[in-house]
Structure 1
Amino acid sequence: MELPKFLLADNSNYPDDIFVLHTEFPRFIINLKDDEIEWFEDLTGEKEEDIATELADLMDKAGEFYDAEMKDLE
């Protein structure tokens, strides 16, 4: 099965939170409400500067994905 790069995630226990799951390396879930990230990968040994740059880009893409999904629902 081929997974999309981003998925929306919802949980009724957290009605004000907006979760986006990134399914490719490095896999993570981000809460767009407060930009909190939970990593599913062990990034030990990766260059901190490279991770920071990639993370900033992926956070932007996650937000753009969410905005596009919401626009499509209108």
Structure 2
Amino acid sequence: MNLPKFLLADNSNYPEDIFVLHTEFPRFMINLKDDEVEWFEDLTGEKEEDIATELAILMDKAGEFYDEEMKKYE
């Protein structure tokens, strides 16, 4: 199965939160409400500067993905 790079997720226990899952390395879930990130990878040994740069780019892309998905509902 080919997974999309980003997936939207929600949970009725957190109705105000907006979750986006990133399915490629480094896999993570971001809550767009507060930009809290939950990593699904062990990033020990990775260069902190590289990860910080990559995360900033991926967070922007996650936000763009969400905005594009919401346009489809308008």
The superposition leaves residues 17-62 of structure 1 with CA deviations (integer Å, 9 ceiling, x where unpaired) of: 0000000000000000000000000000000000000000000000
Extract unaligned runs of 5+ from structure 1: none
Aligned to 1:48: 48
SS in 2 for 1:66: helix
Distance apart, 1:64 and its partner CA: 0.1
SS of 1:73's equivalent in the other structure is coil
Number of positions where the alignment pairs a residue of Structure 1 with one of Structure 2: 74
Q: Gaps spanning 5+ residues in structure 2: where?
A: none
| Separation in 1, partners of 2:61, 2:24 | 13
- Identity between Structure 1 and Structure 2 (%): 89
The alignment's TM-score, normalised by the length of structure 2, stands at: 0.99
The residue aligned with 2:60 is: 60
Normalising by the residue count of structure 1, what TM-score does the alignment of the two structures yield? 0.99
Task: Output the aligned Cα RMSD.
Answer: 0.2
Give, as a single letter, the amino acid of the residue that structure 2 aligns with 1:59.
M
